[in-house]
Amino acid sequence: MVHRFLLTASTLATALLAGTAALAQDSTPPQDDPTVPQAESRSGEIVVTARRRSENVQDVPIAISVLAGEALDAQGAYNINRLTQLQPTLQFFSTNPRNTFINIRGIGAPFGLTNDGFEQGVGIYIDQVYYNRIAAATLDFVDVEQIEVLRGPQGTLYGKNTTAGAINITTRPPSFDFEGKAEISVGNLGFKQAKASVSGPFSDTLAARLSISSTDRRGTIYNVTTDTWINSQDNIGIRGALLWKPGADVRLTLSGDWNLQDPICCGQIYARVGTTQRALNRQYTALTALFPGYQVPSTNPFDRLTDLDADLSARNEHGGLSARLEWDLGPGTLTSVTAWRYWDWGPKNDRDFTGLPVYTKVNNPTKQNQYTQELRYAYAADKLDFVVGAFAFYQEIRTSGIQETGPAASAWLLAPSNALSRNPAVLNGIVAENDIRLDNLSLATFGKVNWKVTDRLTISPGVRVNYDRKDGVYDSVVTGTASDGTRQLITNDTTHPYYNDPWTAAQRGTQASQFFEPRFSDWNLSYDLNLSYELAHDVMAYATYARSFKTGGINLNGVPSRGDGTPALEVAQIKPEKVDHFEAGIKTQFWNRRGTFNITGFWTEIKDFQASVISNVSGSNVLRGYLANAEKVRVRGIEADFSVRPSDRLNAYLSGAFTDHEFRKFVDAPCPPELAGGATGTPPGPPATPGANSPANCDVSGQWLPGISKWAFSWGAEYNIPATVLGRQGQAYLGYDASYRSKFSSNASRSIYTDIDGYSVHNFRLGFRTDGFDLFGWVRNAFDEDYFESLAVTPGNTGLISAQLADPRTWGGTIRFSF
């Protein structure tokens, strides 16, 4: 296995190195071209703040990719989702803003189960403010100057501990020179997008910037039930900032933003049906036959038709205020970042994924407030520099959800052998009212030292001490109609007077009231050691070891019940992840910095990996998913980035990643659908055999992790020629960008029904630009590739697989002015 891994890694490195060798000749550096997907200066440098100070990215011994704001605009990457087409080791999966996962190198967040009680492994920072929930970072980019994607643990440099990496977004600051820009884009599917920003001084010491962005687009799925297009876009964002410079040594930036997404969204549609081990008369085909005349609009998901009958909404409002003080004190800079952010999530979902009224409401509106304070000092000298800091984070999340069943629930959810399944009133109108609360506190101190032992060798140790505390409440009150027509509590309490009522007994098998108050608190110590060595001018080698922790959590979506009906509190807590990370790489520039080639190898092992499991609590009468820990996970691979600018006319780039990934040991994982749905017993029956016994859980050791492609690439180029249009001198240009991902699993445990085949996406643009004007046409997914972003197993083991579809081919035009 190791030999195959090394051979594959060397093959990728050799292929990319061969491209650099042909270009290694001397020439004069070209002028800037902002369409290259890096933020290059005229000297070939890319200036980043990954280590909390400004420096050339080639001098930073971290695997890091940088995207300039101009390149993002040119390539239509106006949100985090679209970054995945430019970053091979960045994975983004979303069925709606709350059910969103972003991973780097395949790790960061558990796949497929939303739970407010755990942390992200990838940190999102906008202007140095930490965004704790990915849902609050699904905004359209507004006036972005640069995005840095840092891969690997970053806890000794950043405010919140992150075990997988960080995405550091910097917006354009207020300017003391009056400037502005505006752009309008229109396209098919009714696409309309407008952006504008203006900046300038109020005085010699005070400047301001105001930016706004609005996006609107018709949905890509037609709902025949409601005669509407769903999964639309309807976004608006406003950002403002004031910069006060009372002296040369002090800078105070006050920022505020407000964002609203209010689309008709989000529906997952019929993808396919697979056979499970449930009784044949309880699988999808037999269940739908119980409703004469019902038929799914299309069994081809790429017809983009659905018949979802519940209301859909994905209203996502978020914003906040921040104050950043930067004060130059002697040889260093003291920085304070104070921020408050809020998130108001108002969803409406159809969670039976059909046009039948099984569930008429599954809505979990959520409100969040978070407060952060970061204080750090960055010191720089000839032989020694360091960053020391402290970070405080407090978050409140309040969810008041409701779930309600409809008249089709009895036939869909009860066994046909139960006479009550033929009475729609039995399960109609079961209402679960959920009160879910989280108080989340995190405190940390951290530091990183860079000791320049010689002119070539630098040793950089780092350390972090972290304290985390989570206090939660889960209170679900479930009521239904008893056989005598009264509304009664559905409970596992055997002393309740209606416990043995046949209707409430049937309802209890669907859902019952539950209350518990989980808590978690712990200290942990993270540390890392980095060595970098300058092999030659513009050639640096580096190696890193990091011992990191992802804090533990609590289950806030309910837990299985024991045989006596009490909640299984032993699974209410989620243990911390323990990460051992090894990385080595080489960064090079050549041909007078016209060319850049970086290569990185990494090896990450995680103990107690936080993952989705299915109830294995003895005596539990309802299968229930929750978060627990896989014993051990390994992710390893190699990444390479190559870019070249042979002349003012042409630039090109190629990035690639090979990732080997597996559960090293995970013996109690949730079973895939082909091994689920039957009676729990031994021996388990053959996969996909109706009526066969099913294992209580499955050993998936040696299997793939979800969401990770073994191979991923992104590449592109742009060519321009001098041109004159309407008397204006400028450049005519043609640009091309593409990406490829190989097959990956889209289920927590790999299933024969949920692998997503590899696909490639190709984008083109053609335009004319001058210093202050840009007009271009674009086409994205130019070859109209049909592919799934995700596939999901729907509840109940009916065999129905739902799909989240990627965008079809889109095209349009953009006009942009600046002054």
Residues 720-753 have pLDDT tens digits of 999 999 889 999 999 999 999 999 999 889 999 9
Of 70-84, 180-194, 485-499, 672-686, the range with the lowest mean pLDDT is 70-84
Categorise residue 145: left if φ over 0, alpha if ψ from -120 to 50, beta otherwise.
alpha
CA separation for the pair 666, 702 (Å, rounded): 8
Residue type, 274: G
Percent of the chain residues past pLDDT 70, beyond the cut: 91
CB 473 within 8 A of CB 517: yes
Q: Is the pLDDT of residue 464 over 60?
A: yes
CA separation for the pair 717, 542 (Å, rounded): 29
Find the mean pLDDT for residues 123-142: 81
Provide the strand spans (E) within 453-576: 457-481, 487-489, 514-516, 519-536, 539-550, 553-554, 573-574
Q: pLDDT digit string (tens) for 21-42?
A: 333 333 333 334 433 344 444 3
The architecture CATH gives domain 2-818: Beta Barrel (2.40)
Q: Is the pLDDT of residue 12 over 50?
A: no
Q: Residues 643, 647, 649, 655: what is their CA dihedral angle, to the nearest 10 degrees?
A: -10
Q: Is the pLDDT of residue 307 over 90?
A: yes
How many angstroms separate the Cα of 254 from the Cα of each of 142, 249, 337?
Answer: 16, 17, 10
Q: Is the pLDDT of residue 134 over 80?
A: no
Of 229-243, 432-446, 601-615, 747-761, the range with the lowest mean pLDDT is 601-615
3-state DSSP assignment of residue 498: coil
The residues near 417 (Cβ < 8 Å, ≥ 6 apart) are none
Report pLDDT for 80.
75
pLDDT band of 668, cuts 50, 70, 90: confident
Of 6-10, 72-76, 256-260, 745-749, the range with the lowest mean pLDDT is 6-10
3-state DSSP assignment of residue 185: strand
The residues near 289 (Cβ < 8 Å, ≥ 6 apart) are none
In sequence order, the β-bridge partners of residue 582 are 545, 603
CA separation for the pair 483, 70 (Å, rounded): 66
Q: Residues 425, 354, 191, 779: what is their CA dihedral angle, to the nearest 10 degrees?
A: 170
CA separation for the pair 351, 349 (Å, rounded): 6
Mean pLDDT of the chain: 89
- CA 431, distance to chain mean position in Å, is 31
Copy the structure tokens of residue 285. 């085909």
Report pLDDT for 774.
95
CB 347 within 8 A of CB 313: yes
The secondary structure of residue 16, as a DSSP letter, is: H
Q: pLDDT digit string (tens) for 42-67?
A: 345 777 776 666 778 888 888 888 88
The residues near 349 (Cβ < 8 Å, ≥ 6 apart) are 96, 266, 310, 312, 362, 363
pLDDT band of 223, cuts 50, 70, 90: very high
Angle, CA 199 vertex, CA 317 and CA 730 arms, to 5°: 105
Q: Is the pLDDT of residue 626 over 70?
A: yes
Report pLDDT for 144.
87
CA separation for the pair 35, 652 (Å, rounded): 10
Report pLDDT for 775.
96
Q: Is the pLDDT of residue 5 over 50?
A: no
CB 668 within 8 A of CB 253: no
CB atoms within 10 A of CB 566: 12
Report pLDDT for 14.
36
Find the mean pLDDT for residues 669-680: 90
**Helix H or strand E encompassing 149:** strand 144-151
Q: pLDDT digit string (tens) for 176-213?
A: 999 999 999 999 999 999 999 999 999 999 999 999 99
CB 585 within 8 A of CB 606: no
How many angstroms separate the Cα of 667 from the Cα of each of 648, 671, 698, 700, 819?
Answer: 57, 10, 6, 6, 61
pLDDT band of 615, cuts 50, 70, 90: low
Enumerate the domain spans of the chain: 2-818
Report pLDDT for 89.
86
The residues near 2 (Cβ < 8 Å, ≥ 6 apart) are none
Report pLDDT for 702.
96
Q: Is the pLDDT of residue 15 over 60?
A: no
Copy the structure tokens of residue 543. 């190696």
3-state DSSP assignment of residue 275: coil
pTM greater than the 0.85 cutoff? yes
CA separation for the pair 298, 308 (Å, rounded): 13
- The alpha-carbon radius of gyration of the chain (Å, integer) is 27
pLDDT band of 675, cuts 50, 70, 90: very high
In sequence order, the β-bridge partners of residue 776 are 767, 814
Q: Is the pLDDT of residue 76 over 80?
A: no
Q: Is the pLDDT of residue 8 over 70?
A: no
Find the mean pLDDT for residues 129-150: 81
- Name the more confident of 50 and 306: 306
Copy the structure tokens of residue 661. 């990934």
Burial of residue 18 (number of CB atoms within 10 Å: 0-12, 13-18, 19+)? exposed
Q: Is the pLDDT of residue 349 over 50?
A: yes
Torsions phi, psi of 49, nearest 5? -125, 30
Q: Burial letters for 719-756: b for 16+ Cβ neighbours within 10 Å, e otherwise?
A: ebeeeeeeeeebbbbebbbbbbbbebbbbbbbbebbeb
CA separation for the pair 215, 140 (Å, rounded): 8
Copy the structure tokens of residue 148. 């840095």
Report pLDDT for 680.
83
CA separation for the pair 496, 482 (Å, rounded): 13
- Name the more confident of 218 and 614: 218
Report pLDDT for 112.
61
Q: Is the pLDDT of residue 315 over 80?
A: yes
CB atoms within 10 A of CB 397: 22
Angle, CA 92 vertex, CA 370 and CA 660 arms, to 5°: 120
Place of tokens 């046909």: 416
Report pLDDT for 154.
86
Of 640, 532, 645, 642, the residue nearest 592 (C-alpha):
645
How many angstroms separate the Cα of 545 from the Cα of each of 13, 310, 467?
Answer: 22, 50, 22
Of 207, 211, 40, the residue nearest 140 (C-alpha):
211
Find the mean pLDDT for residues 428-448: 96
Residue type, 588: T
> DSSP letter string over 203-223?
SSSEEEEEEEEEEEE--SEEE
Torsions phi, psi of 507, nearest 5? -70, -35
Copy the structure tokens of residue 526. 């993270």
Place of tokens 């780097």: 104
How many angstroms separate the Cα of 18 from the Cα of each of 22, 592, 640, 715?
Answer: 7, 18, 12, 16
CA separation for the pair 474, 730 (Å, rounded): 62
Copy the structure tokens of residue 237. 């964002």
Burial of residue 803 (number of CB atoms within 10 Å: 0-12, 13-18, 19+)? buried
Percent of the chain residues past pLDDT 90, beyond the cut: 71
Tell how strand 539-550 and strand 519-536 pair up.
Answer: antiparallel
Q: pLDDT digit string (tens) for 485-509?
A: 999 999 988 899 999 999 999 999 8
CB 650 within 8 A of CB 680: no
> DSSP letter string over 293-341?
T---S-S-GGG-EE---S--EEEEEEEEEEEEEEEEETTEEEEEEEEEE
pLDDT band of 708, cuts 50, 70, 90: very high
Q: Is the pLDDT of residue 677 over 80?
A: yes
In sequence order, the β-bridge partners of residue 694 are 680
